A and B are shown apart, each in its own frame.
Chain A
Amino acid sequence: MILKGRVWKFGDNIDTDIIIPARYLSYTDPEALKVHCMEPLDPQFHTKAMKGDIIVGGYNFGCGSSREHAPIAILALGIPLVIAKSFARIFYRNAFNKGLALLEADILNKVYEGEEIEVDLTTGVIKCKEGEVKAKPIPAFMEKLINDGGLINYLKKKLRGA
C-alpha cells in the first residue's frame, strides 16, 4: 500500500501525555479526543492536521501510559501513519491493534515540516526530497495481524469458529 502525505515533525520521547493529556481520558469518543491531540505542544494541531498527513518523530515515540486514547486520537485526525526512530512498546502494540501504521526509520533530519513524502507500507521505502530511506520491515507477526483486520477482528473470527 502506498501512502502520500504532508509531514508533521515532533522530537524525541513524545509521550502519551502529550499525544492526549490525561484530563481528557474520561472520553472514549474519537471525535472528542482528536481536538486535544498534541495539545501541550500545539493546541491548534487538530485544526492544522489534515486527512492523510504523516507524523514523524525521533526516539521512543509513544512512551508513558498505556492509554489507547493516543492512537485513537491520531487516527481520528485522519493520520494513518507515524514514522519514528523507535517506538515505546505499549504504544507499538496499541497502534497495530487499532490500525495505525508505524514504521521505524530515522528521517527526522531528512524531511522538513509540511513536505509531502511517499511511503510504501509493504516495502517500507520512504521517498522524501533528500532521497529514499528504507524503514525496518514490519515484523511478520504484526503483518499477519494487520491482514486479519486487527486483533479484534481476529478474535471475533476466532470466537465464531471461523
Chain B
Amino acid sequence: MGMTITEKILAAHSGKKTVEPGEIIESTIDLALANDITAPLSLKEFEKVEATKVFDPERVVFVLDHFTPNKDIQSAENCKKIREFALEYGIKYCYEGGECGIEHALLPEEGLVVPGDVVIGADSHTCTYGALGAFSTGVGSTDFTYGMVTGKTWFKVPESIKFICYGKWQKWITGKDLILHIIGMIGVDGALYAAMEYEGEAIHSLSIDSRFTIANMAIEAGAKNGIFPVDKRTLAYVKTRGKRPYKVYKSDRNARYREVIEIDAASIGLKVACPSLPSNVKDVKEIKDVDIDQVVIGSCTNGHLEDLKIVAEVLKGKKIARHIRCIIIPATPKIYREAMRRGYFKIFLDGGCIISPPTCGPCLGGHMGVLAKGERAVATTNRNFIGRMGHPESEVYLAGPAVAAASAIKGRISHPDEVT
C-alpha cells in the first residue's frame, strides 16, 4: 500500500519506513512557533518544567502580531516577557516592531518553512504552510512548550481526504472561493482530524498566495492539516527564500484516502460565508441587500500581495461608500513595501480606505477595527463566529478580496462586476 504526502513526511520525521492513519507517533519538528497570545502561557509552563534551554534557538520562533503595536498595558507586559525570554535563550527569530508581520504570512516569506518540514505552532492557522508541501499544524501552548524544549511532539497520523480540482477558474476567483466552497460542502467538522490534500491541474494553476489561503482554512473544516503538491511555483517561491534545505515528498498513486472529491473549477463562483459559521456559504449573487458598516481586507488568510492587487484593481479611481470604514492590512512589511511601490496605497487612500500596519488586529476582535453592537462587516479573514470581530451582536461575512473591495464601494455585499 502506498502512502500520502502527509504520511511520508510524518514517517520520515519519526524514523519509520511507513506509518498508518490512526497510529500514534513521536515526530521530530523542524520549527516551533508561538505568538504574543499563546507564548505567555507557554513560558509559564517552561518555568514549571525547569528547562534550561530550548531544543534549537534557530528553530523556535516568536511573532508578536496579535495585539501589537501593543493595544494595552497587559499586551505590552506580555510582549516584554517574550522579548526578555528570547534574549535570555538566544532565540534567533523573534519578530516585532517594524520587522513584524502576521505570523503565517511572515514565516514562509522569511524562508523559515520549506517543503518536507514538520512544523507546530501555538496558533490554529499554523496549517497554512501546507501550501508549500510541509506538514504543519496548530497546537496549544503546553504542546508548544514540550516541542520547544524537546524538539519533538506526538501525533496521531491523520487519514487523508483528497480534493482533485480540474478545469479553469472564472474571473475574480481566488483560493478563498475554493476553500469556502469546500467548507460549505463538507461542513466545519467535515475533515475533523484529517489531512486535506489537493491535486489537479486547477490546483497547479493557483498562485502560492491562493494556496496559502486554502491551506490556512483547513482548520475551519476541523482538519489537522492542508497540504499541496510541490510544483514549479513552489520551488520558485522557496528557492529565493528558503533558509534551510528542503525535501520534496509526493503522494503515491496507490495511497489510501478516506474520500476523494472532484471539483470542477469552472463551477465555482465568488463565495461568501454568512454569520456565524465558515460553512454557512452562499454564492455572492444569492445575497441581496445586506448593508455593511465595515470592510476588513487582511489577515493570514488574505493579506497577501495577490489580494491587495485585486483590491487595487477593483478600487482604482473609485471611492468607497460614505460611512463605511475600509481597513486594509498588508500582512507583512515586505508586502506593505511592495504594495506601496506598486502604487496601490495611492489607490487605497484616494478611495477613502485606512491602511493599517501589519497586525492581526480586527481579525480576532483585538483592536484596529472592533465592531459595535449590531454592526456588520465583510472581511477577508477566516472566522465569522459570534463576536469574533467585537460585540456578540455584531456580524462578520467572510469573502475574498474582490467581493470585499466591491462591497466597500457599494456599502452592501456586492459582486465586483457591479462596480468594474
The reply to whether B74 and A27 contact each other, CB–CB distance below 8 Å, is: yes
A65 and B124 in contact, given A21-B365, A40-B386, A151-B143 (Cβ under 8 angstroms): yes
B123 adjacent to A66 (CB under 8 Å): yes
A7 CA to B233 CA in the complex, in Å?
Answer: 53
- The answer to whether B154 touches A68, judged by C-beta atoms less than 8 angstroms apart, is no
Say yes or no: B365 contacts A64, CB within 8 Å.
no
The distance in angstroms between the C-alpha atoms of A121 and B72, with both chains bound, is 42
In the assembly, what is the distance between CA of A106 and CA of B199, in Å? 36
A17-B386 contact in complex given A151-B142, A152-B48, C-beta closer than 8 Å: yes
* Min CB gap A64→B, angstroms: 6
Contact of A22 among B40, B49, B365 (CB under 8 A): B365
How far is A69 from B38 in the complex, measured between Cα atoms in Å? Answer: 9
Cβ–Cβ contact B74 & A26, under 8 A: yes
A98 to chain B, nearest CB (A): 7
Cβ–Cβ < 8 Å partners of B146 in chain A = 151-152, 155
A90 touches B124 (CB 8 A): yes
Measured between beta carbons, the chain A residues less than 8 angstroms from B143 are 93-94, 97, 151
* Complex Cα spacing A97 to B75, Å: 25
- Taking A23-B366, A89-B224, A152-B145 as contacts, is the C-beta distance between A64 and B139 under 8 angstroms? no
Nearest-CB residue, chain A, relative to B70: A26
A86, B189: Cβ atoms under 8 Å?
yes
Q: Known A-B contacts: A28-B40, A67-B140. Give 4 more (CB < 8 A).
A: A23-B366, A94-B143, A152-B45, A155-B51
| Chain A stretch 109-162: residues in CB contact (< 8 A) with chain B | 139, 141, 150-152, 155-156, 158-160
Given that A40-B386, A93-B139, A159-B49 are known contacts, is A26 also in contact with B78, CB under 8 Å in the complex? yes
A66 touches B124 (CB 8 A): yes
Our pick among A40, A68, A69 for the contact of B387 (Cβ within 8 Å) is A40
Q: Is the CB of A68 within 8 A of B365?
A: no
A59 at the binding interface (Cβ < 8 Å): yes
Complex: A80 Cα to B48 Cα, angstroms: 22
B154 to chain A, nearest CB (A): 7
Cβ-defined contact, A65 with B222, below 8 A: no
Among residues of A, the one whose C-beta sits closest to the C-beta of B36 is: A26
Tell me the bound Cα distance from A64 to B149 in angstroms. 26
Given A21-B387, A152-B48, are A69 and B41 neighbors across the interface (CB < 8 Å)?
yes
Q: Does A49 contact B (CB under 8 A)?
A: no
> Residues of A contacting B40 with CB < 8 Å?
28
B188 touches A13 (CB 8 A): yes
- In the bound complex, residues from chain B placing their C-beta under 8 Å from that of A59 are 189
Task: Give 21 A-B contacts (CB < 8 Å), ordered by A residue.
Answer: A15-B385, A17-B364, A17-B385, A17-B387, A17-B388, A21-B387, A22-B365, A22-B366, A22-B388, A26-B67, A26-B74, A41-B386, A60-B189, A60-B192, A66-B123, A66-B126, A93-B139, A141-B24, A155-B49, A156-B49, A158-B150
Nearest-neighbour CB distance to chain B for A77, whole angstroms, equals 18
C-alpha gap A32/B231 in the complex (Å): 48
State the CA gap A118–B222 with chains docked (Å): 30
Beta-carbon contact of A65 and B142 below 8 Å: no
Inter-chain contacts of A89 with B (CB < 8 A):
192-193, 222, 224
What is the bound-complex CA distance between A94 and B49, given in angstroms?
A: 17
Interface string of A41-66 (1 = CB under 8 A from B): 10000000000000000011001111
Q: A60-B192, A88-B222, A159-B149 are in contact. Are A68 and B38 (CB under 8 A)?
A: yes
**Cross-chain contact B51 with A94 (CB below 8 angstroms):** no
Contact A97 B142 (CB under 8 A): yes
Q: Which of B340-382 contact A (CB under 8 A)?
A: 364-366, 370
For A72, list chain B residues within 8 Å (CB): 41
